[in-house]
Chains A and B, each alone.
Chain A
Amino acid sequence: GAGVSQTPSNKVTEKGKYVELRCDPISGHTALYWYRQSLGQGPEFLIYFQGTGAADDSGLPNDRFFAVRPEGSVSTLKIQRTERGDSAVYLCASSLTPGGPMNTEAFFGQGTRLTVV
């Protein structure tokens, strides 16, 4: 497809379980971002990849959260020992390059709604 694809669209898990959320960026986009959107809030930055490496993971809330992008395309956000407070919509976005003055617009996927019960 032409856009950023995220799977699953919805995920319900029990507290304490491990989950993986997948993001397929737009083909050719080297920059990939994960954001988290809690109910009634704007998205909050989690992590940024340039190619295969995590260039900035300063937004990850704690060490239960981890993300990979081994081949510089698909990315997986992994959450260990999930807690109810992790419930949110996890958004992925990609851009041709990191933001610059020539408008490297970030395109967002539809998100994965994670519910921890």
Chain B
Amino acid sequence: ELKVEQNPLFLSMQEGKNYTIYCNYSTTSDRLYWYRQDPGKSLESLFVLLSNGAVKQEGRLMASLDTKARLSTLHITAAVHDLSATYFCAGISGGSNYKLTFGKGTLLTVNP
């Protein structure tokens, strides 16, 4: 059974700083997803990482995947207040091609 762990669960950072959120998973995952969730809103897909060594960037966010270490990272560069949200990583269970297993999420607060 796939298990996904994120850390930290809470992250308070100042604008302009850099930080990384880590996502470890327990067994083989065909794909790794990163989602953003604002309070009371739906989950917004940020990145889909399909293979070992995959790196994707969008604005101040960059996600990477190391399948050998079973680790994905979400790096935040020069944070701005608008990035404040909860970020989830999720893997696809090896035995299915649809069932997402989510981490607990990282609540990111960017302070001016």
Binds A, one of B12-20, B57-65, B77-85, B100-108: B100-108
Instruction: Count residues of B near A (Cβ-Cβ below 8 Å).
Output: 25
* CA of A3 to CA of B45, assembled, Å: 13
What would 12 more interface pairs be, CB under 8 Å, given A99-B97, A103-B50? A42-B105, A45-B99, A48-B98, A91-B43, A93-B43, A99-B31, A99-B96, A99-B98, A105-B45, A105-B48, A108-B35, A109-B42
Q: Name the interface size band of chain A.
A: 20 to 34
Q: In the complex, which residue of chain B has the Cβ closest to the Cβ of A98?
A: B98
Residues of B at under 8 Å CB distance from A? 4, 30-31, 35, 40-45, 48, 50, 88, 90, 92, 96-105
- Whether A31 pairs with B43 at a CB distance below 8 angstroms is no
Q: How far is the CA of A95 from the CA of B99 in the complex (A)?
A: 12
Q: A56-B99, A100-B97, A103-B48 are in contact. Are A42 and B42 (CB under 8 A)?
A: no
Which of A's residues lie within 8 Å of B, judged by CB? 3-4, 31, 33, 35, 40-45, 48, 56, 59, 91, 93, 95, 98-101, 103, 105-111
